[in-house]
Structure 1
Amino acid sequence: MAKETKKYWLILAAAVFFVYVFAAAQPIPVETILVSRWLTSLESNYPLNMGGSPPEAAQPLAFELGGRFGYVGDDGRFAINRLRKGYVSLSEDHWAEYDALPQGLQIMDPQDNMVLEIENPKGYPVFLDKKLFIIGAEQNSITALDSRGNELWTYDFPAPLTCIDAAAGFILVGTLDGTVELLNASGTQACLPFEPGGSRLSVILGCAISADASRLAIVSGIDDQRFLLLEQSGDTYHVVYHEFLTDGFRRAVYMAFIDSDNRVAFEREGGIGIYDILSRSSVNIPLDGEIAAIDGSGGDRLLFVVTSQSAVQKKLTAIRFPGTIIMEAPFKSKAAFLGRRGSKIYVGGDMSLASFELGKK
């Protein structure tokens, strides 16, 4: 009886989810379509198969949604599905849940196996570039650990960290005092610290590093706020583009290299900016509300974004490069999740997760 009740709930959730998400959706042009694959509930483990391609034996997808976190397989079944009781650091390979001042850490894998236990970490964990780091309790230091939890190195900063990214063995960090530092795999400076300046208040609100570490992207300052792109030249980096972002934000902003590192997406007041590295130009795509989730890849010349207009009103938007909105699908949800792996899109609202596949009609 319990199994039948869960199946009934799932079918009902599917109906509600699709009414909210896709009743108002416009078809993606140029013969590109979204094919429904499955829908599942966070309160069950009985995915409803909607068609599409058969599941692959892929690494489970990490998710956080509606006070829960875990990993879901390509078939819609959960490898882990937990209520969040504290803070969570989550990556494709590892996760850890911890208190504000953890006395110890258990590093887990997507199969819920403990792979490492750390006593008295003196901070909290972050997973970057498939490596484990500890951000100090005062948020002004970073420590690299090896696979056994041994300390490799520690680097202290003169001010609290405000953003961090890593790739190709390098760690890019922005601080509250408006400084950007790039560290190498040994924990030493890869180049001299950079201070963008040019604003009334100096602070780094966003930073991103390309996959080969040849480019750095930064959002800095308050009054005026700027987007900057730096490129490597020998053993240093030079600004090759900058743009003022009008009013800007007084909080951390989303930014990432996308489209095989040919573009940078960054949150800006009233929407999202997309900088084209080849043409050295930026476009501003107006969006309603604040960015709640973004796919982070930009593959197939498409970028998917979820925005939040209110506590319960969300919108899924598809953008075709260089900057044309080709789909908008409003839905009601307090929480939202968006993930992507190649041609597969994963969308979550409240207690439901759905999978779609980009296809050709």
Structure 2
Amino acid sequence: MRRRFYGLILGIAAIIFSLFSVRSTLPEREIASSVFLTFSEALDLSRIPMARTDQIMPFIGDSFLGYADLSKNKLYVHPFKERAAIDKLGWITYGRLATDLQLYDINGRKRSLQAYAYPWFKASWRVLLRADQMGIALIDETGFILWEKEFPMPVTAIDASSSFLAIGTLDGSISVFDRNGCAVLSIQASFQESQTIYGLALSKDSKYLIILRGISPKKIETYRFEDNSFAKLSESSLMVNTTFQATMAIAQDNSHAIMSFGDLLIYYNIKNKYYKILEAEMLGGDLSENQTDVRYFVLGPLGYSLVAILRSGLEDTAKSDVLILNHGLLVHIAHGALGAISDEEVIGFVYKDGVELLKGWQP
């Protein structure tokens, strides 16, 4: 009897070891293959084939940035310091105080930009947020300014889709621009109450805009783009007591949004207009630790109804995980990851020493 008991314990220990000896935990039936590409064996950016530039995915790691060819299992990397923004055409490095902007093309050739600004890249938009946060400029791949906008109050939230760029400000104003810089939505601030924009998110298909404004209670406003304009669909109260700025993303299927406020993570159902706070035990958290010891940052949608979240330690910022949520439910944890990228049925997790690719993902 005792021998059978010890055999059972050893069997359980073997299962636990197999679960925690891989970088990320996921049931095997949900992926077709997994490969880890190290930065030490990556190729130089000058070796990216011109015929593959549309297939590569940009990423930023701890001290390397570059591109992953998800179908060919290849990495092309470049070392960097301080901060950076990247897209499929190249990247910008810059200092913490919005100085020393260096613009690179995809093969690593660089030029200096004479500007004091924070670069922000998404969905082929290249935006420079002025150092005082009261103006933006849209630039092309050469650094040429296509158009500029100024605001009476500092910018507090920004997001972009393939068609639109949305800006929220400290006084509660909202501006949404098209590629030509024309305003398709303009909401002026109310002087009767504090309506600071704490966060906003555009859906990938440009059909939905969600705005988070106010202090207590906060308001979640949902807009839909129809007939060449945004129309307000709903307004809901969010009863959370926090002054953290929000990070937000709308799932690719437009079913819901995920938003974070420091140590709070919230699921919002767009159709049914309700929200729920996602507790630590629902997110694979260590219940022996205080929930306030972590910070959440919404990385963005990964396809279908999946959204990626970065969870980092408050005191030990080097400790981080990437969580994958499906309709607000935890389906995957990449322990130690810093970021995530995706393309169709391939999801990549960025670590300090390389990129892990999971292929054949079926949510």
Report if TM-score (shorter chain) is over 0.5: yes
Kindly indicate whether the alpha-carbon contact (under 8 Å) linking 1:105 and 1:121 is maintained by their aligned counterparts in 2: no
2:311 to 302, 307, 310: 307
Match of 2:357 in 1: 355
> Deviations along 1:39-71, whole A, 9 cap, x unmatched?
13333439xxxxxxxxx9963322222233222
Residue 255 of structure 1 and its aligned partner are, at CA, apart by 1.0
Kindly indicate whether the alpha-carbon contact (under 8 Å) linking 2:32 and 2:360 is maintained by their aligned counterparts in 1: yes
Match of 1:37 in 2: 34
**SS of the residue aligned with 1:350?**
coil
- The share of aligned pairs that are identical, in percent, is 17
**SS of the residue aligned with 1:222?**
coil
- Specify whether residues 282 and 120 from structure 1 end up closer, same or farther in structure 2 by C-alpha distance, changes over 3 A only: same
Residue 192 of structure 1 and its aligned partner are, at CA, apart by 2.9
The one-letter code of the counterpart of 1:262 is S
1:257 to 242, 246, 250: 250
**SS of the residue aligned with 2:21?**
helix
Aligned residues: 322
Match of 1:213 in 2: 206
**SS of the residue aligned with 1:43?**
helix
Residue 355 of structure 1 and its aligned partner are, at CA, apart by 1.1
Question: Aligned equivalents of 2:295 and 2:39: distance in 1?
Answer: 25
- Specify whether residues 358 and 342 from structure 1 end up closer, same or farther in structure 2 by C-alpha distance, changes over 3 A only: same
Counting only pairs closer than 5 Å after superposition, residues 336-347 of structure 1 correspond to structure 2 as: 336-347=338-349
Question: Aligned equivalents of 1:277 and 1:185: distance in 2?
Answer: 26
Residue 141 of structure 1 and its aligned partner are, at CA, apart by 0.7
Residue 306 of structure 1 and its aligned partner are, at CA, apart by 4.0
- Specify whether residues 297 and 261 from structure 1 end up closer, same or farther in structure 2 by C-alpha distance, changes over 3 A only: farther
Match of 1:93 in 2: 89
- Specify whether residues 176 and 90 from structure 1 end up closer, same or farther in structure 2 by C-alpha distance, changes over 3 A only: same
Verify: 1:78 aligned to 2:75, yes or no: yes
Match of 1:108 in 2: 105
Kindly indicate whether the alpha-carbon contact (under 8 Å) linking 2:221 and 2:232 is maintained by their aligned counterparts in 1: no
Question: Aligned equivalents of 1:330 and 1:138: distance in 2?
Answer: 36
Match of 2:235 in 1: 241
Give structure 1 stretches of 5+ with no counterpart.
1-14, 47-55
The one-letter code of the counterpart of 2:207 is S
Match of 2:330 in 1: 325
Question: Aligned equivalents of 1:21 and 1:196: distance in 2?
Answer: 49
- Specify whether residues 197 and 19 from structure 1 end up closer, same or farther in structure 2 by C-alpha distance, changes over 3 A only: farther
Question: Aligned equivalents of 2:26 and 2:205: distance in 1?
Answer: 37
- Specify whether residues 89 and 245 from structure 1 end up closer, same or farther in structure 2 by C-alpha distance, changes over 3 A only: farther
1:19 to 18, 21, 24: 21
1:170 to 157, 164, 171: 164
The RMSD of aligned alpha carbons is 3.6
Kindly indicate whether the alpha-carbon contact (under 8 Å) linking 1:230 and 1:241 is maintained by their aligned counterparts in 2: no
Verify: 1:189 aligned to 2:183, yes or no: yes
Provide TM-score, normalisation by structure 1.
Answer: 0.74
Kindly indicate whether the alpha-carbon contact (under 8 Å) linking 1:204 and 1:218 is maintained by their aligned counterparts in 2: yes
- Specify whether residues 282 and 187 from structure 1 end up closer, same or farther in structure 2 by C-alpha distance, changes over 3 A only: same
- Specify whether residues 96 and 315 from structure 1 end up closer, same or farther in structure 2 by C-alpha distance, changes over 3 A only: closer
